[in-house]
């Protein structure tokens, strides 16, 4: 999914009184609330990021060493206990009450908005005792630079609260990581699943995040946490027995009947095939064989169902997994749906859907390839 995030303009109060960091070794105690999702496009799809952006901000603020941050899980428990809405979060007075119950001096709250591949985040620093907005900040840029944008926002927050940082502390803040936005979205989904006790789904989401970003340390840590909470039922992939797959990657069904969409579909299928051939436990069936068989399966049975024909062809070729899907192009837009199917039963094991501009095809292709790789489990 190619996404841009930006926030609606917000009004700014008159300049508040200066706030100084507590003296001595004490740290500013802050609670990071879930940010409001004000995205215009794909608002529902971006809803999990409300938790994700709060979690990543908590991690960045903790790295500065200047704040004592309320744990996200504790805030989640308080939200559940008070039966607060998680859609649009809470109003100012309720947020103030929540901050007091959490023992926080400051609240960090705000919003994000997504449009295309850009993101804007608006944040407000609120005094928990009075609800006074002390300062408002915003950062915006490409979703591919989200981690750097977030770190820039944290630096602004520290400066606003007079939490002076040494060169060493600033170096600790800047992680230098470039986490793809699709990986951040999978991580965000995993947090939601964890909160609701859906450990199998949480494990799957964190595993997908790691496929998209193998160096995503926090996703690995959350996967281990899921494993512990589930009593070892959902072991990380690194601890699971390696399974063997015989995979048939079919050409994408062209719903547009256009030359450009046909070639794009062939390119995506070729990219998935190339990536799968590099996996030790995967054997990919030659494309010439499966194209011939699927044509015969459709003609002999007069069955217009592409998936049914693909399943029959896959069985004849001895494949235990199929990668099939469709592509549609209209004007300057492209839409692709992919799925991994268990050959024996026809069960759909995983799916990937994406829409975007034709000009962004390389990024669309890379995202789909990574999504398909994550679907090879549970034979």
In a domain, 362, yes or no: yes
The reply to whether 34 and 170 lie within a common domain is yes
- Structure tokens, 305: 């169902």
The reply to whether 256 and 356 lie within a common domain is yes
What's residue 9's pLDDT? 39
The reply to whether 33 and 159 lie within a common domain is yes
In a domain, 185, yes or no: no
Residues ≥6 apart with Cβ < 8 Å to 286: none
Return d(Cα 149, Cα 139) in angstroms, integer. 6
Nearest to 79 by CA among 111, 32, 114: 32
The bridge status of strand 106-115 relative to strand 118-127 is: antiparallel
- Structure tokens, 22: 């507590």
pLDDT, averaged in runs of 10, over the chain (379 residues): 38 44 66 90 90 93 90 81 56 74 88 89 90 92 90 92 84 78 94 90 90 88 85 55 75 77 82 82 76 58 60 76 86 86 84 83 81 62
Nearest to 270 by CA among 256, 282, 254, 287: 287
The reply to whether 34 and 174 lie within a common domain is yes
What's residue 243's pLDDT? 63
The reply to whether 36 and 168 lie within a common domain is yes
Question: What residues form DSSP beta bridges with 5?
Answer: 114
In a domain, 215, yes or no: no
CATH code, 115:
3.40.50.10070
In a domain, 235, yes or no: no
The reply to whether 34 and 162 lie within a common domain is yes
The reply to whether 275 and 353 lie within a common domain is yes
The reply to whether 46 and 151 lie within a common domain is yes
The bridge status of strand 118-127 relative to strand 28-32 is: unpaired
- Structure tokens, 146: 């989200």
Nearest to 256 by CA among 327, 305, 307: 327
Residue labelled with tokens 């609260």: 161
Residue 206: burial class (beta carbons within 10 Å; 0-12, 13-18, 19+): buried
Domain that holds residue 48: 28-178
Give the number of domains in the chain.
2
In a domain, 208, yes or no: no
**Boundary (domain end) residue, out of 148, 178, 208:** 178
What's residue 57's pLDDT? 94
**Boundary (domain end) residue, out of 127, 145, 178:** 178
CATH code, 332:
3.40.50.10610
In a domain, 78, yes or no: yes
**Boundary (domain end) residue, out of 178, 196, 229:** 178
The reply to whether 269 and 168 lie within a common domain is no
Strand boundaries in the chain, DSSP class E = 28-32, 36-37, 67-69, 106-115, 118-127, 133-142, 245-249, 253-254, 282-284, 321-330, 333-342, 348-357
The reply to whether 261 and 164 lie within a common domain is no
- Structure tokens, 267: 């390119």
In a domain, 8, yes or no: no
In a domain, 331, yes or no: yes
């Amino acid at each position: 999914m190619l996404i841009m995030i930006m926030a609606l303009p917000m009004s700014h109060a008159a300049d508040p009184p200066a706030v100084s960091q507590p003296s001595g070794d004490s740290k500013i105690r802050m609670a990071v609330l879930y940010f409001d999702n004000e995205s215009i496009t794909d608002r529902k799809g971006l809803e999990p990021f409300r938790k994700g952006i709060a979690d990543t901000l908590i991690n960045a603020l903790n790295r500065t060493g200047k704040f004592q941050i309320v744990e996200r899980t504790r805030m989640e428990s308080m939200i559940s206990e008070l039966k607060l809405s998680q859609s649009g979060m809470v109003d100012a007075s309720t947020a103030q009450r929540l901050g007091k119950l959490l023992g926080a001096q400051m609240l960090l709250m705000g919003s994000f908005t997504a449009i295309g591949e850009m993101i804007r985040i608006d944040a407000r620093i609120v005094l928990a005792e009075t609800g006074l907005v002390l300062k408002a900040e915003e950062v915006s840029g490409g979703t591919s630079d989200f981690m750097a944008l977030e770190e820039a926002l944290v630096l602004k927050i520290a400066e606003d609260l007079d939490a002076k940082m040494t060169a060493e502390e600033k170096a600790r803040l800047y992680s230098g990581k470039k986490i793809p936005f699709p990986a951040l979205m999978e991580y965000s989904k995993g947090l939601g699943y964890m909160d609701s006790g859906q450990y199998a789904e949480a494990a799957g989401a964190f595993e997908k995040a790691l496929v998209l970003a193998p160096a995503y340390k926090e996703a690995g840590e959350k996967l281990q946490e899921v494993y512990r909470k589930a009593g070892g039922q959902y072991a990380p992939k690194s601890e699971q027995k390696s399974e063997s797959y015989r995979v048939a990657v079919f050409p994408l069904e062209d719903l547009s009947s256009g030359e450009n969409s046909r070639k794009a579909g062939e390119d995506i299928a070729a990219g998935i095939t190339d990536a799968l051939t590099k996996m030790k436990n995967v054997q990919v069936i030659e494309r010439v064989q499966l194209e011939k068989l699927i044509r015969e399966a459709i003609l002999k049975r007069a069955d217009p169902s592409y998936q049914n024909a693909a399943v029959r062809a896959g069985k004849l070729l001895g494949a235990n997994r199929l990668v099939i899907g469709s592509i549609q192009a209209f004007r300057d837009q492209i839409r692709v749906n992919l799925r991994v199917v268990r050959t024996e039963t026809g069960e759909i094991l995983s799916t990937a859907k994406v829409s975007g501009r034709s000009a962004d095809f390389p990024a669309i292709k890379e995202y789909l390839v990574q999504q398909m790789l994550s679907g090879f489990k549970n034979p």
